[in-house]
Amino acid sequence: MNWSGLIIQLVLVAGGAPLLVGVMRQVRARLEGRAGAGILQPWRDLRKLTRKQAVTPHGTGWVFRSAPLLLAGTALVVAAVVPLVTADSPLDDMADLFAVTALLALGSVALALGGIDTGTAFGGMGASREMTVLALVEPTILLSVFALSVRVGTTNLGAIVTATADSPLSVISPVSLLAAVALGVVTLAEAGRIPVDNPSTHLELTMIHEAMILEYSGPDLALIEWASAMRLTVMLGLLASLFAPLGIATAGAGALPLAVAAAAFAGKVTVLGGALAAGEVFMAKIRLFRVPELLAGSFLMALLAVAASFFLA
């Protein structure tokens, strides 16, 4: 088991997630004809927030205060167990599809409860919308990855990634295509990106994620922003590991393979993030009532991927 790979993976996700957000903002700014604030701006924002005083709304309890900690904690655990840099982690037994999906859902539910605990109209509205999205996102993540696990015979993510790395041509199939599209759509929803949500919106009536965190400030808001960036990085990294595990370190990897794996992970996530940011320039946020239709379509594709995996096995 490779403890070095685990540490490198955690450092890359925890330290590089804000940089990924900065890269995406910079790509979008350049395509829109703006100079942009630079890729280090998210880290500057986090540093500024940590120096401010946290303000707790009147009437809120431990649910509101613990939501940022739970969201950041689950994001760190998921970043540790998901095979992003190495598929030979000491926490490999925890890298089960159902456990990882449950941890992602736990973080979303904690943030929704924090929004409800404020007692404001926007907090409750955002939490209600988040639960609607969550009800369609989590089953789609389960089915899309489960379709890939059929040929491997296990729901362990490390085993799935290792099998794909050993047989790269297995990705070229209708099952992988359907699963990749479904997982890509729910990644947008999970991260609150266009066309499902707009992370830079200032229109309260269109908010989903941002509506739940309107009452947070200071270090609490910094934790939420940091955790959200990590969840986006993990989802993009999981997408890359499942369908393009080139360079990922496997059992018995030394220092050089780990360095190559870390560089490959950073490169793949940066490319996916840049492509996502570029796509957002040419897309608009869809109407809220159309979001369930989009996510239901991704769920149907994941279901078809599972059915095809049994017929084409």
* Distance separating alpha carbons of residues 3 and 249, to the nearest angstrom: 12
How is residue 97 written in tokens? 């599809």
- As a whole number, mean pLDDT of residues 211-221 equals 93
Confidence at residue 35, expressed as pLDDT on a 0 to 100 scale = 92
For residue 107, the enclosing domain spans 3-311
How is residue 85 written in tokens? 């840099």
HEC secondary structure over 107-161: HHHHHHHHHHHCCCHHHHHHHHHHHHHHHHHHHHHHHHHHHHHCCCCCCEHHHHH
Number of domains in the chain: 1
Confidence at residue 88, expressed as pLDDT on a 0 to 100 scale = 80
Q: What is the mean pLDDT of the chain?
A: 91
Q: pLDDT tens digits, residue range 243-296?
A: 999 888 876 667 888 899 999 999 999 999 999 999 999 888 888 889 999 999
- As a whole number, mean pLDDT of residues 155-182 equals 92
Cis amide prior to 195 (ω within 30 degrees): yes
Chain centroid offset of residue 164 CA: 21
Q: Which residues contact 259 (CB under 8 A, 6 or more apart)?
A: none
- As a whole number, mean pLDDT of residues 65-80 equals 96
